[in-house]
Amino acid sequence: MAVTATGSNMKSYEEAVDTFSWSDVEAQFSWARTGKVNMAYEAIDRHVADGKGDKIALHFSNNERDESYTFAEMSKQSNKFANVLRSLGIAKGDRVFIFMPRTPELYFSLLGALKIGAVVGPLFEAFMESAVRDRLKDSEAAAIVTTPALMSRIPRSELPDLKHIIVFGEGVAEGEGLVDYGRAMAEASDEADITWLDREDGLILHYTSGSTGKPKGVFHVQNAMLQHLYTGQIVLDLKEDDVYWCTADPGWVTGTSYGIFAPWLNGATNVVRGGRFSPQDWYATIAKYKVTVWYSAPTAFRMFMGAGAEVAKSFDLSCLRHILSVGEPLNPEVVRWGHKVYGQRIHDTWWMTETGGHMICNYPAMEVKPGSMGRPIPGVQAGIIDDQGNELPAFRMGNLALRTPWPSMMRKIWNNPAKYEEYFRIPGWYVSGDSAYMDDEGYFWFQGRVDDVINTAGERVGPFEVESKLVEHPAVAEAGVIGKPDPLRGEIIKAFISLREGYEPSDELKTDIARFVKEGLSAHAAPREIEFKDKLPKTRSGKIMRRVLKAWELNLPAGDLSTIED
C-alpha cells in the first residue's frame, strides 16, 4: 500500500513534526533581514533580485492566446499596474476587486494591487449581478478590474464607493470612472516603489458561503505567506525546476493561495489554462508544458475517470511527478484509478477559505491511505471535539477543529465580528463546520458538514443565497435548498419550492426558475433539480427546516420535529 516518493522535500513526517518551527520558515523570507514585507515582492521581485529574472514564471494558454512571461516581465507588468492604481488615488488598505476570466492581465493586476498594499478581492467570472453587488457593497470596494463582457454585471449606481472601473478589452470609452487598461498600462512606468507593509496588514478578501446569511468576506493578512511558502515545499513538494499547474480559478481560495502565492513564493514555473474543462485540453496542457506537479479537484478526476484510461494513454503524461486534490471528498476508487492510470496516488489535501492554507494533507513522504485527508501539517494541531470542546478518542466522529492560531488563519470576517467569533466559540479551537474522525495512526477521515453548506463540484454554495434569489422569482412563494448526493459532482443543488397563488407546477416553470438563478446569481448556484411542494416544513419562528427537506430527499427519519410549525 505504501507509495513513498523518493527525494521529496520532507524526509519523514514524524521527523518534520518533531523538528518544526515557524521561525525557520520566517528565516527564508527577505523581510527576515530587511523588515520590509510585501507578498508581491516575495513572490515575484525577490526572484529577480536573486538573479532568476529570466526564469519563466507564467505559462498561459487558452483557445486564443499562448504566452509565457519571465519573473522579470511579471515584475514589470505588475509595477505598471501598481502605477496605474496609484495614479487613480488607490492606496494601502483600499479594496480592489478583480473580476475577469483567467488571462495574464488578471495576474498582473492582482500582483500590482498587492504592490501598493491594496486588499485584493477576486471574483469568479461566472458571478452575475446580485452576487457581484453583494460583495462589492459589503467590502466598500474602491476599484474593480474587469472586461467589457462582464461590465454590465456591475451595478454602479448602487455602489457609491466604487470610483474606478478598469476595463481590459477593446473599445473602452474612458471617462466617468471608466479606465482603459490597455491605454493606462501603455503610459505607466514599469518601475514602481513597493508599499512596505506590516505582517498583519491586509492581503486578500475571499467571499465564501455559510449556511445562514449572505456570503462573508474572509480577510487574510500578509503573514499568511509563511504557510503558503512552507506548504508549497512540503505538500506541493515544489522544487527549483518544477512546472506546476493548479487548475483552480483565483476567484476561489485555491486559485490564489495555491494558484499564485505558494508556487511563486517558491519560485516555480506556474501554468495557467483559461477556458472550460475538457479532458483532452487538460491532458494536452500537461503534456505541452511538461507539468510535474498537478493540483486539481475530485470532480475533475471523476470526469477524467469517466472519459476513460484510453484518453489518458493518448497523451504523454510521464512528466507528472506529484498529483494533489482539494475541495471535496476524494473517493478511494479515484485514488486507485489514478494510481493505475497516472502511475501514482493522488494526494488529498483538506483546508478551507478561512484557514488560508493547507491544514490536513497527504505528503509524498507519507503513506497515502485512500479515502483519508491525511495528517496535520507540521506546526498545526487538529482534533476531533464534541460540542462542549472535549477531545474525542480515535474513531469517534465529531467536529473537526484546529488549535489556534496558525500563520494563515483568517483575521476577521469583513464587517461581521459576530460571525468571526462563532468559529472560535470553544476556547483554543477553530471549529471548521466539518465532521470527521481520526484513526489510531492520526489520519483524519472526512464525514460531512455539520451545517447546511453545499459542496457542488468543489464549489461551496450557501443555501441562503440561493433561496434569497429564488424567492425573487414572481412564481416562488417559499424555497428551501439542499445538497443532494451526486456521483459526479459530489452534491447537486436541489430546491424545494412552494408556489404563489395563481401559479401551477410545470416543467417550463422549473426551467424558468433555474434560469432566473443562473442569470441573476451564477451558474454554479442554480438548482439542477426543483421539486414543487404545497407547503415547506418550517419552525414556529418561520425558518425553513432544510434538515427535514434532506430527510425527505434521502428517505431518512426527520429527527427531532419538536420545533416544527404543525
Instruction: Give the residues lining the site for ligand WTA (CB under 6 A).
Output: 208, 252-254, 326-329, 348-353, 373, 432-434, 446, 449, 455, 460
Report the C-alpha dihedral over residues 411, 414, 418, 419, rounded to 10 degrees.
Answer: -80
Instruction: Say how far apart CA 194 and CA 114 lie, in whole Å.
Output: 9
Smallest distance from the beta carbon of 198 to ligand WTA, in angstroms?
Answer: 26
**Closest-CB residue for ligand WTA?**
353
Which residue is it, cell 498583519?
A: 200
Nearest to 316 by CA among 340, 291, 287: 287
Nearer to ligand WTA, 115 or 546 (CB): 546
Task: Give me the least distance between CB of 139 and ligand WTA, in Å please.
Answer: 18
The candidate with the shortest Cα–Cα distance to 324, out of 289, 361, 357, is 361
Smallest distance, ligand WTA to C-beta of residue 368, A: 13
**Shortest spacing between CB 207 and ligand WTA, in angstroms:** 10
Nearer of residues 237 and 478 to ligand WTA, judged by Cβ: 237
Residue 467: CB atoms within 10 Å: 20
Picking from 377, 431, 422, 385, the residue whose alpha carbon sits closest to that of residue 404 is: 431
**CB closer to ligand WTA, 304 vs 444:** 444
427 φ, ψ (degrees, to nearest 5): -50, 130
Residue ranges in 463-564 assigned as alpha helix (H): 463-470, 507-520, 546-554
Find the shortest distance in angstroms from Cβ 253 to ligand WTA.
5
Nearer to ligand WTA, 168 or 252 (CB): 252
Residues 94 and 113 sit within 8 Å (Cβ to Cβ): no
CB-nearer residue toward ligand WTA: 258 or 304? 258
> Strands 95-99 and 529-532: what pairing?
unpaired
CB of 501 to ligand WTA, least distance (A): 39
Nearest approach, Cβ of 240 to ligand WTA (angstroms)?
26
Query: Does 405 sit behind a cis peptide bond, omega within 30 degrees of 0 on the bond before it?
Result: yes
CB of 233 or CB of 432, closer to ligand WTA: 432
Q: Which is nearer to ligand WTA, 436 or 497 (CB)?
A: 436
Beta strands in 213-298 (DSSP E): 216-221, 243-246, 269-273, 293-296
Of the candidates 557, 501, 504, the one whose C-alpha atom is nearest the C-alpha of residue 532 is 504
Q: Cβ atoms within 10 A of the Cβ of 449, count?
A: 17
With CA atoms as reference, report the closest residue to 214 among 464, 456, 460.
464
Closer residue to ligand WTA, CB minimum distance, 108 or 295: 295
Smallest distance from the beta carbon of 107 to ligand WTA, in angstroms?
20
d(CA 521, CA 500): 22
